[in-house]
Amino acid sequence: MKLSQKRIVVTGGGSGIGLVMALALAAEGAHVVITGRGEAKLAEASSQHTNISPYVCDVTDEAAVVALRDAMDAAGGTDVLINNAGVMHRFDVTKGFPLEKQLQEIDIDVSGPVRLIHHFLPGMLQRESVIVNVSSGLAYVPYAAAPVYSASKAFLHSYTLGLRAQLAGTSVRVVELLPPVVDTEMAAQLDPSFARMAPEKLVAAFIKGLKNNADEITPGQSAQLKLMSRLAPRFIFQQLNKNPRG
């Protein structure tokens, strides 16, 4: 697909992978709306390119999601919806971790994409468009130290497969990006021994996959996790989880 002049929403586009994506898409000539919860952060991020606009929208706030959809429609519609916003909590279940935080993690990482897709899909079915769900290589092999996060990404992977099958033959294409460990604020809480991919490298692979109409984009170690989860699931689980409580 061509990206020039496309109207794109990147949730969680004010920092991390989402911001690097927004900058790369803007450089391709797309008009990118970045969303997040912090107004000042979004303003600072969007000041980096004239093709990027900020929009405050918490993916757990249904009224805000509807308002975002309406604002996009009023400006000409949505060609690409990128469900990138996410949080990860790493915790030891035996020590306890606030239930509220665990449920909020599900609300952002699971219900967030479902909410966005529910409200954007009717408009997107009226035009050639693409939904991108950003899950994780951990969708293939769970990381025990982040149990709710890993389960959320497995949900998103399964949901994406179902969506793609249902939307085959419509005007909406469904793409999944499964990043490996990427050097962002989120990865700061991970085991320091894990290799980190630069966000620019991840985004270059993503843009290439998007342009080539790939369905599933598995850069770096995500491809190995996918293969190993089929060939030797117990072995790869043990390798990833030598210290399951983090």
Question: Any contact of residue 84 with ligand NAP (CB under 6 A)?
Answer: yes
The string of DSSP letters for the chain reads ---TT-EEEETTTTSHHHHHHHHHHHHTT-EEEEEES-HHHHHHHHTT-TTEEEEE--TT-HHHHHHHHHHHHHTT--SEEEE---------TTT---HHHHHHHHIIIIIHHHHHHHHHHHHHTTSSEEEEEE--GGGTS--TTSHHHHHHHHHHHHHHHHHHHHHTTSSEEEEEE---SBSSTGGGGS-TTS--B-HHHHHHHHHHHHHTT-SEE--THHHHHHHHHHH-HHHHHHHHTSSTT-
The one segment of 2-10, 79-87, 120-128, 229-237 that binds ligand NAP by CB under 6 A: 79-87
Which of 8, 9, 17, 110 lies at the binding interface for ligand NAP (CB under 6 A)? Answer: 17
- The candidate with the shortest Cα–Cα distance to 136, out of 57, 211, 210, 216, is 216
Residues 158-217 that bind ligand NAP (CB under 6 A): 179, 181-182, 184-187
Write down the catalytic residue from 55, 140, 143, 149: 149
Using CB atoms, what's the residue nearest to ligand NAP?
A: 16
Name the segment binding ligand NAP (CB under 6 A); options: 16-24, 159-167, 203-211, 238-246.
16-24
Nearest approach in angstroms of CB 231 to ligand NAP is: 21
> Which of 1, 66, 67, 87: binder of ligand NAP (CB under 6 A)?
87
- Does residue 133 bind ligand NAP (CB under 6 A)? no
Judged by CB under 6 A, which stretch of 78-86, 90-98, 208-216, 226-234 contacts ligand NAP?
78-86
149 labelled catalytic: yes
- Asked whether position 136 contacts ligand NAP by CB under 6 A, the answer is yes
Question: CA 140 → CA 200, 222, 226, 244, distances in Å?
Answer: 23, 8, 6, 16
> Could you give the string, one character per residue 23-62, with x where binding to ligand NAP holds by CB under 6 A and - elsewhere?
------------xxxx--x----------------xxx--
Q: Which residues are catalytic?
A: 149
Residues that bind ligand NAP (CB under 6 A): 11-12, 14-18, 35-38, 41, 58-60, 84-88, 108, 134, 136, 179, 181-182, 184-187
